[in-house]
Structure 1
Amino acid sequence: MATLPLKPILVVEDSAEDFTALGRAFRKHALRNPVLRCEDGDQALEYLQGCGKATGWPQTLPALVLLDLNLPGTDGRTVLSKLKQDTRLHSIPVIIFSTSSNARDIEDCYKLGANSYLTKPIEYAVLEEKIRLAMHYWLDASELPFAN
């Protein structure tokens, strides 16, 4: 029986420093899935909504989306809302990964359909542990929908 290729993890993050730290955490915990980065909300929507149609983008939807809230252009809230309203994309788990620990932001994101909300820690060791736990839960423990 042939195994299907691993679906990518989409990281929507404008900060190169934060993306680099995430990449280190992914490598340390031997994340096998390819990691894609979009630097703003517009680029993320272009990939997700044009998947299979847009030249230069992967032909596969991601296994999950790690989404920053405060992005240039279209912000993370709008990206989340559009993903969860799109019948083709709404079942993709979206994990908000933001510096904001504001209760209103957290509540708003869950109302918009976020599957999880993680605050970005300042200490790298804490970030690494959050990423390890999140990736273990979403990629190893959970059964994800087969989309695309």
Structure 2
Amino acid sequence: MYDPSQRVILLVEDNPDDELMTLRAFRKSNIHNPVIVVRDGAEALDYLFLQGKHAQRDPGIRPQVVLLDLHLPRLDGLEVLRRIRANEQTRTLPVVVLTSSKEERDLVESYQLGVNSFVHKPVDVTAFFDAVRQLGMYWLVLNELPSPRRNG
């Protein structure tokens, strides 16, 4: 169980190598925030909307940022982003697309759907570590979020 005051990262990544490199990059950069890893788009939505196996999780723990791959099983990243932005409770949640996609249409559609940032996964390990470090520093240290809205 995580302390709700901690800034949690939701990593939506189906590639185990990219997951491992991202987690290693956070550790190497002294970013020790809890990282919740989900491996497909449907599970990401279950986590965010407290459904399925995540129905009993603490609703007070809201991710500080979602790192979202686009090419995911069951439900692709663009559909995940669409549903995040369509829901009042998650509309302001920062979402960073972290993808190997070089498709211009993925970039354009991500921004049309309201992504906060779009980052290509560098192929070079050192560049990948640096990109993840910079993402972590910005979204976890510098960026400020509004308080989540409460129903009722």
Q: Same fold (TM over 0.5)?
A: yes
| Structure-1 separation of matches of 2:38 and 2:66 | 10
How far 1:4 moved relative to its partner? 6.2
How far 1:146 moved relative to its partner? 2.3
| Structure-2 separation of matches of 1:16 and 1:58 | 26
* Residue number in structure 2 paired with 1:119: 120
Instruction: Give 3-state SS (helix, strand or coil) of 2:148's partner.
Output: coil
**Stretches of structure 2 lacking an aligned partner (at least 5 in a row):** none
* Residue number in structure 2 paired with 1:68: 69
**Stretches of structure 1 lacking an aligned partner (at least 5 in a row):** none
How far 1:31 moved relative to its partner? 1.0
C-alpha contact 2:95 2:116 (8 A) present in aligned 1:
yes
* Residue number in structure 2 paired with 1:19: 19
Q: Structure 1 residues 4 and 105, CA, compared in 2 at 3 Å: closer, same or farther? A: closer
2:88 equivalent to 1:92: no
User: What do residues 27-81 of structure 1 show as CA deviations (whole Å, max 9, x unaligned)?
Assistant: 0011131000000000010110117x812x3431111100000000111000000
Give the letter for the 2:139 counterpart.
Answer: W
Q: Matches of residues 1-148 of structure 1 in structure 2 within 5 Å?
A: 5-50=5-50, 54-55=55-56, 57-59=57-59, 60-147=61-148
TM-score by length of 2: 0.89
**Higher mean displacement: 109-118 or 135-144:** 135-144
| Structure-2 separation of matches of 1:79 and 1:4 | 24
| Structure-1 separation of matches of 2:27 and 2:110 | 28
C-alpha contact 2:7 2:140 (8 A) present in aligned 1:
no
C-alpha contact 1:92 1:145 (8 A) present in aligned 2:
no
How far 1:5 moved relative to its partner? 2.3
Q: Structure 1 residues 23 and 58, CA, compared in 2 at 3 Å: closer, same or farther? A: farther
Give the letter for the 2:90 counterpart.
Answer: L
Where do 4+ consecutive residues of structure 1 move more than 6 Å? none
TM-score by length of 1: 0.91
| Structure-2 separation of matches of 1:28 and 1:146 | 30
